[in-house]
Amino acid sequence: MKYERTPYLVIFDETAAFKDTYSGQVGKVVLEAHLLKPETPSDTVVLFMHPIGGGAWLPLPSALAKTGTHVIYCNSRYRGIDNALIMEKCALDLGAAVRDAKERLGYKKVILGGWSGGGALSLFYQAEAENPTVTHTPAGDPLDLTAAGLIPADGVALLAAHLSRNLTLTEWIDPSITDESRPFERDPELNIYDPANPNQAPYDPAYVERYRNAQIARNRRITAWVKERLAALRVAGKEKHEEGFVVHGTMADPRFLDETLEPSDRPPHWCFLGDPEVVNDGPVGLARFSTLRSWLSQWSYDDSNAHGLRCAARITVPLLVIENSADDACTPSHAGRLREAAVNAPQTHHVVKGANHYYFGQPEMAAEACEALNAWIATVPHREAMLAL
């Protein structure tokens, strides 16, 4: 089916203590969006947003529009760069896109399309829209989602979604770095890329447990340092000041090397960004460059409000989980744990056999995902109708 792609902007006012995105008018937030509108009219739209965006031209949105489903892909204010990203502000951005879809574009039913990192954002948004609780960022800066008037979506679709940025980073971070000031002096027994490490794949369960505990400990050490630096700035009377820093070693999940851990159809010794050993210290790894506030909001194991499992437990609208069996980013437990957490949401689960994370080179598998998504959307009632029952 033919569709028309229309770029547009969502613009809203914001009062903030300081600017954390490059350029643009102070006090204005401008979101870049695409409406993919098929020839067939519809009162329903699937709205995608990822914390750092960039997915408007990926295979699934256009494949979905070709089936006759109306699609919006809206980038957050942090499109393309997450150094200073604040998840609470992403929730505000998604809220502006939902409101615009309903009030200006006239869609009665909005489904959140949570692809990859957009999954946890969708869960966080929906949890706060249904029952808002957040009044400050984890750094203590005022940001009141309880007064933001977030409009709940009618359903949430998780597509190749990972747990959340804070939990996924912790599962990927390299625990062999025990001193952030000397990142290339690494504990050989925790360095899975060191041939001299006596622990080689397939890994012993006791070693995996030790490794996972060391990953959490490293995340917590960074978090403690971040809080110390923020406290020092405030004591110095610099409440609005920030600091940037580098986090080395963020792509060292044992599952990338040991395919017996959570077996699936994913390729061995590979991740969605390429060779994980190269990515581990390359410029595109998760959380490579961060600010103090962004670390607490995005990456802190204990402090992030956008904790996917906790947010999943808070939503009540219908939930679809589409899992790709050859996903080279999200292993099977991600889908499983999200489903287990979403105890209050009616659920549907579908596995696309052989599909990679993005459906690159797999149009027939993207079509299967679209078919499953459309079949589920047909069963999702308007949330207002559900509340009236």
* Angle (CA) 282 52 34, round 5°: 135
| Cβ neighbourhood burial of 196 (10 Å; 0-12, 13-18, 19+) | exposed
Which pair of tokens denotes residue 51?
Answer: 């914390």
In 3D space, the residue among 338, 279, 308, 50 whose CA is nearest the CA of residue 166 turns out to be 308
**pLDDT at res. 11:** 97
Enter the pTM of the model. 0.97
**pLDDT at res. 1:** 87
**pLDDT at res. 389:** 59
DSSP 116-168: TTHHHHHHHHHHHHHS----B-TTS-B--GGGS-PPPPSEEEEES--S-HHHH
| Cβ neighbourhood burial of 289 (10 Å; 0-12, 13-18, 19+) | middle
**pLDDT at res. 276:** 97
Bridge partners for 291 per DSSP: 244
DSSP 13-77: E---SS--SSSS-TTEEEEEEEEEEESS--SEEEEE--TT---TTSHHHHHHHHTT-EEEEE--T
Q: CA 326, CA 175: separation in Å to the nearest integer?
A: 26
As averages over each run of 10 residues, the pLDDT of the chain (389 residues) reads 97 88 88 97 98 92 97 96 96 98 98 96 98 98 97 98 98 98 97 97 98 98 98 97 97 96 94 95 94 98 98 98 96 97 98 96 97 98 71
Q: What is the CA radius of gyration of the chain?
A: 21
3-state secondary structure of 197: coil
